[in-house]
Copies of this chain bind each other. A is one copy, B any other.
Amino acid sequence: MEWSIQDIARIAGTTSRTLRHYGEAGLLQPSRIGANGYRYYDEDALTRLQRILLLRELGLGIPSIVEVMQGETDDAHALVSHLQLLAQEKTRLDRQIASVALTIRKLKGGEQLMAEEMFDGFDHTTYQAEVEQRWGKDAYTRSDQWWRSKSDEEKAAFTAQHVAIAADYASARSGGAASDSDDVQAIVARHVDWLNLSSPVTGGAITARRLVGYGDMYVGDPRFAANYGGRDGAEFVREAFVYYAEHSLA
């Protein structure tokens, strides 16, 4: 059996450009080249290609894959060192997220705005007067003190976590995931953990009832919905909350 470059690309789920690139890189040569210069690939090449694509999906660079395919390194070894790279990347990212969050807060004008901002994302009340009206007269003070008690690092981490959670909802939703899918429910679990971080302020761990209450608030208030990509995003989160409340907080 023999296929043209386009055929192989379709079968393996990649592009002809990529195949030519692998050819240049010495990763995968066509099994035959026609008199007209066209590349043709056989079944061995297809198998090899699929292995290459797997390693690429795992993030290995072409030189590493070349090594592996030449048998100088076994797959596991290459993946382990790759894993170390990924881990480093991750901590670098974590650090950067923390500094960016910190810088944002500094730019926004110092501690004064912090309680508001945090409350804004946390229980959707932006102004002190509103907080007091909605949550009781000393809620603002309690929250403000709690927030001030945190170090800069902790504040940044807290903010960053929420941003990450919101981003995850967004990508899950755009990827077509259902609000009761495992993926989304896993995000909710993290979200609940995050909410529980401030349980000292709100008085105890999240209950099913409270979680659904939050969901309603997210949908009802555009300032909060904005955190989740608008009304539709907030609605998605609310559905996920409801499901989670029923199945995991019962």
In the bound complex, do residue B58 and residue A91 qualify as a contact, i.e. CB atoms below 8 Å apart? no
Of chain B, the residue at the smallest CB distance from A168 is: B91
Of chain B, the residue at the smallest CB distance from A91 is: B168
Q: CB-defined interface of A93-106 with B at 8 Å, one 1/0 digit per residue?
A: 11011011101100
Distance A58 CA – B96 CA, assembled complex (angstroms): 6
Contacts of A108 in B (CB 8 A): 76
What distance in Å separates the Cβ of A107 from its nearest Cβ neighbour in chain B?
A: 5
Say whether chain A's binding surface is mostly helix, strand, loop, or mixed: helix
Q: Which of B57, B82, B90, B164 contacts A164 (CB 8 A)?
A: B90
Contacts of A79 in B (CB 8 A): 100, 103-104, 107
In the bound complex, do residue A163 and residue B84 qualify as a contact, i.e. CB atoms below 8 Å apart? yes
Contacts of A82 in B (CB 8 A): 100
In the bound complex, do residue B96 and residue A59 qualify as a contact, i.e. CB atoms below 8 Å apart? yes
Contacts of A111 in B (CB 8 A): none
Contacts of A83 in B (CB 8 A): 97, 100-101, 104, 160, 163
Distance A171 CA – B90 CA, assembled complex (angstroms): 12
Report if A1 contacts B (CB, 8 A): no
Distance A94 CA – B190 CA, assembled complex (angstroms): 14
Known A-B contacts A80-B104, A91-B168, A93-B90; A99 and B58 likewise in contact (beta carbons under 8 Å): yes
Report if A167 contacts B (CB, 8 A): yes
In the bound complex, do residue B94 and residue A90 qualify as a contact, i.e. CB atoms below 8 Å apart? yes
Closest 3 pairs between A and B when the two form their complex, measured CB to CB: A87-B164, A87-B167, A76-B107
Beyond A79-B107, A87-B164, 13 extra complex contacts between A and B, CB < 8 Å: A58-B99, A59-B96, A76-B104, A79-B100, A83-B101, A86-B93, A86-B100, A87-B160, A87-B168, A90-B90, A90-B164, A91-B168, A93-B93
